[in-house]
Structure 1
C-alpha cells in the first residue's frame, strides 16, 4: 500500500520539493521558526544547523525521521532521538570542499605569501582532511592536530600546544563540551597569549571553539593577530565589536556552495529512501550536481591568486560589514540581518576538486 509521507523542511534546503515530491507532502519553513506545533502530524523533519532538534521540539509529535543537511550534529540531541526510536541521518562531508575553500581564501586574503608558510589544521574530519589534501597538493608545509584521528599521510602533532609554532591555524572541529578533549573555548586567553605576533587564525568550524571575550581582549591589547571568523558565539546575534576588530568576518556561509547544499539534500534523500525501503529510486549524485557546475577557467600558477579567483572572500566580508554598519547593537536586529545574509546568499561554486589528492 502506497504511503504518503508529510515532511517539514528548512526553506534553505535546495531541491527538497523536486527530490522528495514523488512520495511526500513537503512544507518549507524558515529553520529558526520551526516549532512543535508544526510537527504534530508530520513524519519527517529536515533541518540545517539553525534548528535545535531535541525533546522540547519533538515531544508529543509524530516525527519518525530527522535529517540534517549538515556535516555537524551538535544542534541535534542524538541521544534523545535514539531513545525514542526516531531515525536520524545527516550529511557528513557534504560541504567539506566549500569550507576548505573558505579557509584557503581567508589565508590568501590575510597573508599573500602563505604558501611559503607553515599551516596547522585543528580537526581532521572531512573538512580538515580536504584542506590538508589541498595544502599538500600545493606543496605547502602543513600539519594537523586531532586526538581522535590517525593519518599517516600527513604530519600529525601529538600536542595541541605545538600549533603555536605555525604561521596560520585553521580550526575545523565540532563543538564538544565534555570529555578529555573539549573544544569549547579551545582558543582562550592562554592560547592567544602563546601565539606569535602575526599568526593568522581562521575559524570555520563552530563559533564557541573561539572565546569571543578572550579574542576581543587580546585584539584590544593591540596584539598583532590576523583573524577570520565565519562562525560566532551566540549566532545570529554576533558581537559587532569583535567584527570591527578582526580582518575577515562572514555570516556562517563557509559551506554554502551550490554543490555543497545540493549534496546535503541528496544525502538525506538517499537516507530517506533507505528508510522507507525504496533505495532503487535514488537519483545519482552526479545528476543532482552536474547541472550546477561551471567550467573552471582559472589560469594562474600563484596559489593565493588561484584561491581568491575561485572564491572572493572579501566580497562576503564587505557585505557583512556594510549590512551591520549603522546598526544600534540591538541583538534582534543584528540577528535578523545575519540570518538574512545567510538565507539570501549569492550563488557560489566549488573550484577545488581538480587540486585534491584524496
Structure 2
C-alpha cells in the first residue's frame, strides 16, 4: 500500500479491482456506465492517477484543470479519446494496454467477416421473429469466405493476427496496406502482399478489414471515394475506431448494394449508432465487443496496474504513449 491516490472511472474485472485496492488508495466506480464529466474533473483535481476507458473523453479542458493528476492509465490500447498534447503540456503521463487484446480483437474481426458474408445476423433475426418458413435453395444466400481475398488496412498486431487466421484457417489471399512494408515471419507465413496504394487494395479485395488507429490522421479514411473503389460484391469490416469510416457514405453504399455488406463493432459517437445504419439488413452491428472476453479484460487491467506500479516507484512506464 502507498499513499498514491487512484481513481477508476468504470467498473473493472474483480481481480483487477482487488489488486488496485490492495496496493493503492483507490476509488472504484460500482456503476457499469460512464461518469459525469464534472466527476472526472473532480477526480483529476484530487487524485494522482486517473484510469479511464475508451468511453471517457479526456480533452484539453479537463486536463488543464487537473491540479493533482500526473498519470492517465488508460484501460485499452486506443488513446484517441485523450488529448495527448494537452497532457504532455501539463506534465501528465499517458499509458495504454498494448498486446493483450490482439487475439480477442482479431477473433471478433473474423467473426464479423463471417457474419456479414453468411448473413447470419439476418438469419438470427428471422428465426427470433418467427418469420422463418423453412429451408429453400435461394434463402439468405451469402458469400463464400474460403479462398477469397482479404485486404487488411493497417498491418500492426491485430491486422497481422487477423491475416494469420484468415490465411491459415480459410486459405484466403492476404493483401495489406500500411505506412511501411512489413517483413519477417508474418509475411512468410501468410504470403501477405503489400499494397502501397489503398485504392489498389480496395479494388482487389473481397473483404476489407480496418485496423488503423483513430484520430484526425485517419478520420474518414474510408469515405465515399474509398467505398466506390471497393470490388463489386465486397464487404467492409471495422473493429478499429468508428471515426475511420464515413458512416453516411457507408449507409448510402449499403443501400445501393455496394459494398454488399459490412460488419461494424465501433462507431464515431458511442454508444450512439448512426441512425442511417439501423434499418439496413446487410450490416452487422455489435456493441464494441472487440476485447470482450474475460481473459483479455482481466489482462488489460493488469497491464494498466503494471504501469501504475511503475509510476509509484518512479520507474520508466512500460506502456507510455505520452
On whether the aligned pair clears a TM of 0.5, the verdict is: yes
TM-score normalised to the size of structure 1? Answer: 0.71
**1:38-187 correspondence to structure 2 within 5 Å:** 38-58=43-63, 59-112=65-118, 113-138=144-169, 139-148=171-180, 150-152=182-184, 153=187, 154-163=192-201, 164-177=203-216, 182-187=217-222
1:192 is aligned to 227
1:233 is aligned to 268
CA offsets 1:14-55 (integer angstroms, 9 cap, x no match): 233211122312222344434212332211101110111233
**By how many angstroms is 1:121 displaced?**
0.7
Contact 1:31-1:47 at 8 Å conserved across structures: no
**By how many angstroms is 1:63 displaced?**
0.6
Greater displacement, 160-169 / 238-247:
238-247
Structure 2 alignment gaps of length 5 or more:
119-143, 316-322
SS of equivalent residue, structure 2 residue 146 = helix
SS of equivalent residue, structure 2 residue 218 = coil
1:275 matched to 2:311: yes
1:253 is aligned to 289
TM-score normalised to the size of structure 2? Answer: 0.79
Structure 1 alignment gaps of length 5 or more:
280-358
**By how many angstroms is 1:83 displaced?**
2.1
Runs of 4+ in 1 over 6 A off after TM superposition: none
SS of equivalent residue, structure 1 residue 49 = coil
**By how many angstroms is 1:188 displaced?**
1.1
User: For residues 148 and 49 of structure 1, what CA distance do their matches in structure 2 show?
Assistant: 27
**1:315-330 correspondence to structure 2 within 5 Å:** none
**By how many angstroms is 1:222 displaced?**
4.0
1:11 is aligned to 10
Aligned residues: 274
Contact 1:7-1:26 at 8 Å conserved across structures: yes
**By how many angstroms is 1:278 displaced?**
8.5
Please provide the CA RMSD for this pair: 2.0
**By how many angstroms is 1:234 displaced?**
2.1
User: For residues 186 and 224 of structure 1, what CA distance do their matches in structure 2 show?
Assistant: 16
